[in-house]
């Protein structure tokens, strides 16, 4: 039974604590690499292929971290603190060396840490908000991703204009991550732990064609969004020669993610999750197509708005749909969705980097991503609506 929290400040502290944790893990730990990639290319001669390997190393670490969360039994409050400490330390350490093997190791380990923070910050904050009858505040928690992307993007924009060394920017971001982590540690201490729930990780579910389609869609989503999410500033620099304009696209991407998350949360329960998912997939495909055919200021801006404005909505709505259809096997099913997503985003940067080296253009990898995103919409609406599962009691695989 939900309990209305009598302390509004405590509710906000938990919501903002969750948002700050995701800002550190995602905005800094995972996605600060995107605006820093052009600076690293300038400073150390990092090639696009090497940049693709660094991105994929981080996403491989994310896959390992997400899957390990299925069997780790430590309290969410402990894992959030550990993940935040590792994120801050590894971000700072990126500025201490220029050796590619060490960078690959640190980006991989950073991916593990960011996945832990994402999984366990949600496992800590969201049940507390639900217990306090404040589920709408979950949108504030997830908005931390977009806020972190926007702030780091603006910071990198300003520092790039000052010709700052990328190594120093990594160190600065590591310090910022540590300060935000201290705030989260305080929020975790004051907010406490959520009430224990029955662990459902071992429960099964009955496979349907729709569930397979949803897993496939999530894999396509990982592949489709990660190409612009990794290379958007690099794409923009190829045709737009005003650095002040180019460096603003990534903050716009983050701002769109921030606002769309809050909007989707306010619409929760009013609109069908599948239709929100389908609309988001279609808009994301449109944004990727825009920059593929028109890597101009307008096309790149549309990509930043449409991809930035949908990638966190797809994440949230996809997990909502998983809870609806998987019943007691939801943990296993979410694990499969997360694995498919992570595999897609590992393949995406490598595919793009090698195809660009072969063709000299980002158009083909972008069009591949857009086509797959558009085609995947059909999997959300199977011809046989009886294949649309509700909660099932029978376990299986």
325 and 391 in contact (C-beta within 8 Å)? yes
For residue 197, pLDDT over 60 is answered with: no
DSSP letter at 378 equals G
Residue 348 Cα distances to 28, 50, 55, 262, 277, angstroms? 20, 14, 9, 28, 21
- Rounded CA-CA distance 65/380 in Å is 28
- For position 393, what pLDDT does the model report? 39
DSSP letter at 23 equals I
Average pLDDT of the residues in 255-268: 87
Q: Please provide the CATH number assigned to the domain covering 201-389.
A: 1.20.1250.20
**Range with lowest mean pLDDT among 161-165, 239-243, 328-332:** 328-332
SS3 content of the chain, % helix, strand, coil (to 5): 80, 0, 20
- Rounded CA-CA distance 39/66 in Å is 29
Q: What pLDDT, in 10s, does the model give residues 154-172?
A: 999 899 989 999 999 999 9
Average pLDDT, the chain: 86
For residue 5, pLDDT over 70 is answered with: no
Burial category of 395 from C-beta neighbours within 10 Å (exposed 0-12, middle 13-18, buried 19 and up):
middle
Residue 78 Cα distances to 73, 82, 192, 261, 372, angstroms? 10, 6, 11, 27, 39
- Rounded CA-CA distance 246/248 in Å is 5
Name the fold adopted by 9-194. Growth Hormone; Chain: A; (1.20.1250)
Q: How confident is the model at residue 199 (pLDDT cuts 50, 70, 90)?
A: very low
Same fold yes or no, 9-194 and 201-389: yes
- Rounded CA-CA distance 387/392 in Å is 12
- For position 294, what pLDDT does the model report? 93
- Rounded CA-CA distance 231/361 in Å is 12
45 and 218 in contact (C-beta within 8 Å)? no
Looking up tokens 């997503």 gives 341
Domain residue spans of the chain: 9-194, 201-389
- For position 383, what pLDDT does the model report? 62
Say what the alpha-carbon torsion angle 165, 167, 172, 176 is, to the nearest 10 degrees: 140
**Mutual orientation of helices 100-131 and 76-93 as an angle, nearest 10°?**
150
125 and 14 in contact (C-beta within 8 Å)? yes
């Amino acid at each position: 039974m939900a309990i209305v929290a009598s302390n509004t400040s405590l509710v906000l502290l938990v919501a903002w604590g969750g948002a700050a944790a995701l800002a550190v893990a995602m905005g800094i730990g995972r996605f600060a690499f995107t605006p820093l990639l052009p600076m690293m290319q300038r400073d150390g001669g990092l090639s696009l292929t090497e940049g693709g390997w660094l991105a994929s190393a981080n996403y491989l670490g994310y896959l390992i971290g997400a899957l390990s969360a299925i069997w780790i039994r430590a309290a969410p409050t402990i894992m959030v603190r550990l993940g935040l400490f590792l994120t801050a330390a590894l971000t700072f350490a990126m500025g201490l060396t220029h050796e590619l093997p060490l960078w690959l190791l640190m980006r991989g380990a950073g991916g593990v840490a960011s996945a832990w923070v994402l999984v366990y910050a949600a496992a800590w904050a969201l049940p507390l908000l639900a217990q306090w009858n404040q589920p709408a505040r979950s949108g504030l928690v997830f908005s931390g991703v977009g806020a972190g992307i926007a702030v780091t993007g603006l910071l990198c924009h300003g520092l790039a204009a000052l010709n700052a060394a990328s190594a120093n920017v990594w160190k600065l971001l590591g310090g910022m991550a540590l300060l935000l982590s201290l705030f989260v540690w305080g929020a975790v201490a004051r907010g406490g732990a959520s009430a224990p729930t029955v662990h459902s990780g071992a429960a099964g579910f009955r496979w349907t064609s729709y569930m397979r389609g949803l897993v496939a869609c999530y894999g396509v989503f990982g592949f489709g969004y990660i190409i612009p999410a990794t290379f958007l500033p690099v794409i923009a620099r190829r045709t737009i020669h005003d650095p002040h304009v180019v460096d603003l696209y990534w903050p716009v991407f983050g701002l769109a993610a921030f606002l769309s998350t809050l909007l989707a949360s306010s619409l929760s329960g009013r609109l069908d999750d599948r239709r929100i998912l389908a609309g988001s997939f279609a808009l994301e495909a449109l944004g990727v197509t825009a920059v593929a055919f028109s890597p101009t200021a307008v096309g790149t801006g549309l990509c930043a708005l449409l991809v930035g404005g949908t990638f966190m909505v797809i994440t949230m709505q996809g997990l909502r749909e998983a809870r609806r259809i998987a019943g007691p096997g939801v943990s296993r099913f979410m694990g499969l969705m997360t694995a498919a997503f992570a595999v897609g985003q590992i393949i995406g940067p490598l595919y793009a980097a090698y195809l660009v080296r072969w063709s000299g253009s980002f158009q083909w990898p972008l069009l591949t991503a857009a086509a797959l995103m558009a085609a995947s919409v059909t999997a959300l609406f199977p011809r046989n609506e009886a294949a649309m599962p509700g909660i099932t009691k029978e376990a299986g695989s």
